A and B are shown apart, each in its own frame.
Chain A
Amino acid sequence: MRLRAVALGIAASVSMSFSALAGELTFWHAYSGQQDKVDFINYALEEFGKAHPDIKLNVVAAEQSSYKTKLNTAMASGNPPDVFYTLPGGFLGAFVAGNQMYSLDDALAKDGWGESFLSSALAQTTMGGHTYAVPIDIDSSVFWYNKKLFAEKGWTAPATYDQLLELCEKIKADGLVPFALGNKDSWPATFWFQYLEMRLKGSGIVSGFVAGNADATLGSEGTEAFKRIADLSAKGYFPVGFNGMSDQEANMLFLNGQAAMMLNGTWQIGASADASDDFELGFFPFPTVAEGKGDQSDILGGVAAAFGIAEKTTNKEDAVTLLRFLTSPAVMTKYVELRKTMVTVKGATTEAAAGPVLYGISNDLMGKAANLDPFYDTAMPPKGTDTYYTSLQGVLDGSVAPADAAKRLEEALKAK
């Protein structure tokens, strides 16, 4: 591991050594590996080359999984790229705290660039009143269900949590798994905890901790949310061995009709694209919880990726030009069309580009939601994430008591 970090550092400094030249920018992104990502970035860079032939880009592409380490190493060694892909929340926060990000406030104020973004999205890349990156896309999490299976069995999408539990009993009685879940990598189960906490207590809980609010707390609702999750697991509503299965394996159950529903992100649309004819993807919002204190229309949704500029960059003018180009409506609509993901630029998620399911989520759910609550695991400081993940795995397999899990999580969130 140590060796790899050093090797990455050397690779980073070598690739950085040309950055000082005028009219040149190093540009790092994580749109590699998946075809839809590659198609998008190829399109965007080609169009940029046509529009700005005077700016030469030195592009470094990486896959999402290795990108975080790569960027962190470059930042740590003091050789950041000029313009780069970053994640919002704690990941970006660490760079901001290290004074390594260039504030985009002035640039956003010009020519209505700032107004072109959804303000709830821009809020997720703004820290201490300054915006340090421009948000690109929004992932949100909703319930997915197999429409054909539901129609065949005469089931209907539940509106309340109690109806959801009743439906689970029916599904189980039919010998099927109510919810597909592949929790090996721990993030898939986080949607359960967060939605329950949002419904029971409200949005903005973890954001409150991150902002350093003294009265931030999970409340007794945290324990209650973990308790409900433990309950679902004990009743056998999740697949056998879900803590060892990957999200892809869980998807096989869902797409094969062995599992009826799945609480997952909007990337589920892409994952369901080549399912058989027996499958049709439908969605419904997380059901309302009768005694919940949160706004029951809230949606779990957060900025998935953003682009920022390093403070060290000498060529800031061209760097801003690149960001403005990437977030222009035309490029963003192309993004929606290729990746089937909602974007943060107003009006860019068109029905023609997004397709009916995504447009429905964007219009019917996000449009009517009182709040968008960003993903806890990326919003919280990285130190807390592992505690969150392992506590949740433990609650699901019965090895950690709900009250202990809530206590552990609260402590991790309070630690600075």
Chain B
Amino acid sequence: MASGAAAASSAVRRDSRYALLFLLPTLVLVVGFVAYPVVYSSVLSFYEWNGTATPVFVGLDNFLRLAGDGFFWAALARNLAVAASAIVLQVLLALVIAYCLVRIVGRIGRLFLFLYLVPVIVSEICIGLLWRFIYNPYFGLLNAALKAVGLQSLATGWLGQSSTAFAAVVAVMSFTYLGLYVLLFVAAVRNVPDSIYEAAALDGAGHFRSLFSMTIPMVWDSVRANVMLCIIGSLKTFSLVFVLTNGGPNHASEVVSTYLYKIGFNAFEMGYAATIGFAQMFLTAIGAWIVFRGLRSSKAGRGD
């Protein structure tokens, strides 16, 4: 017995040694390209550095500046608004669409799924450029469509007006990322056994009832994962804002990442940019954790 256990544990040790060996290349890359930059940027956040001269240690100055930087907090508030809109317009809407594709539409659902996925496959930069054409006040499709249906009074310079720029960007984000969540939810909804729906149908449940009372609790784990994914994505969103408005006009659509980019690569204030990046990472982690905890307890509540 004793020798058997020893042999087993040495086999485990050997296996874990092999596992480590296979993980090594990834580990090197993670340390070199993730861990090291994160540590380096957190160190840099205590310095003032223009990218060329010797960094100057400034203690907590960058963090104090961050605390009083209205542009940063306004940008963070916009990230939170993006997250809130994404939970409704991306995750919730995707769940409803996934339910319809699986339970109602049937076979042609695959075609729709493909169409929803097109924006996910195309690069965000291309999507952003396409939408710039759609939004163009003079040649764009959107204003032309409004004119065609007699709503020319609504036609405006969507991306160029402080009042509409941010909403216009959020709309593009919703269109772009919706497909990803549809895909993930379709897989989850398909896994719900038919027998449950049949039982519910016998009890007289309609689609509305079976979506909210059965599908959502049954796929709750994917709801949690997708909400989390969408919050993290929203807090670090960059490319669409960058291409569509570059955060303008006058910061009207600025999010944290575009602000960071401007501070770092236009103003060359690398130390302060690192501080912003560090704060963004920290706040995103905390935000995701709170929401994840919140969703777990609400599931327990349902279960009772």
- A residues lining the B interface (CB < 8 Å): 1-3, 5-7, 68-69, 72-73, 75-76, 94-95, 97-98, 100, 183-186, 239-246, 249, 252-253, 258, 382-383, 385-386, 390-391, 393-394, 396-397, 399-400
Contact = CB atoms under 8 A, between A and B. Distances in A.
Given A242-B160, A244-B160, A397 B267 contact: no
B51 A394 contact: no
B119 interface: no
Contact of A244 (B245, B257, B262, B263): B245
Interface stretch (B20-28, B91-99, B135-143): B135-143
Given A2-B277, A94-B51, A242 B157 contact: yes
A244 B248 CA distance: 8
Given A240-B160, A241-B159, A394-B250, A69 B265 contact: yes
Contacts of A382: 50, 266-268
B174 to A, nearest CB: 19
Interface of B: 33-34, 36-38, 40-41, 50-54, 132, 135-139, 156-162, 165, 244-246, 248-252, 257, 260-269, 273-274, 277
B81 to A, nearest CB: 18
Given A239-B157, A240-B138, 6 more contacts: A2-B37, A2-B277, A94-B51, A240-B157, A245-B137, A397-B249
A399 B250 contact: yes
Contacts of B137: 239-241, 244-245
Contact of B52 (A76, A184, A243): A76
Given A1-B260, A243-B161, A244-B158, A258 B249 contact: no
Given A97-B53, A249-B136, A241 B158 contact: yes
Among B159, B244, B263, the one with the most A-chain Cβ atoms within 10 Å of its Cβ is B159
Among A2, A6, A72, the one with the most B-chain Cβ atoms within 10 Å of its Cβ is A2
Given A95-B52, A383-B268, A390-B251, A245 B37 contact: no
Nearest to B277: A2
A76 B264 CA distance: 13
A242 B160 CA distance: 6
A397 B264 CA distance: 26
A6 B50 CA distance: 16
Contact of A184 (B139, B160, B265): B160
Contacts of A394: 249-250
B33 A385 contact: no
A400 B250 contact: yes
B160 A241 contact: yes
Contact of A393 (B34, B249, B266): B249
10 contacts: A2-B38, A3-B37, A68-B265, A98-B52, A241-B159, A243-B161, A244-B160, A252-B138, A383-B269, A397-B250
A258 to B, nearest CB: 7
B249 A75 contact: no
Contacts of B260: 1
A386 B250 contact: no
A218 B117 CA distance: 53
Contact of B262 (A245, A252, A386, A397): A386
Contacts of A393: 248-250
Nearest to A390: B250
Nearest to A76: B51
Contacts of B246: 184-186
Nearest to B254: A390
Contacts of A245: 136-137, 157, 159-160
Contacts of B135: 244
A397 B162 contact: yes
Contacts of B265: 1, 68-69
A40 to B, nearest CB: 27
A319 to B, nearest CB: 20
A100 B54 CA distance: 12
Nearest to A99: B53
Nearest to B278: A2
A3 B52 contact: no
A76 B136 CA distance: 40
A95 B132 CA distance: 37
B213 to A, nearest CB: 44
A59 to B, nearest CB: 23
A158 to B, nearest CB: 25
A202 to B, nearest CB: 27
Contact of B138 (A1, A76, A98, A253): A253
Contacts of B36: 6
Nearest to A387: B267
Nearest to A252: B139
A244 B53 contact: no
A243 B269 contact: no
A151 to B, nearest CB: 24
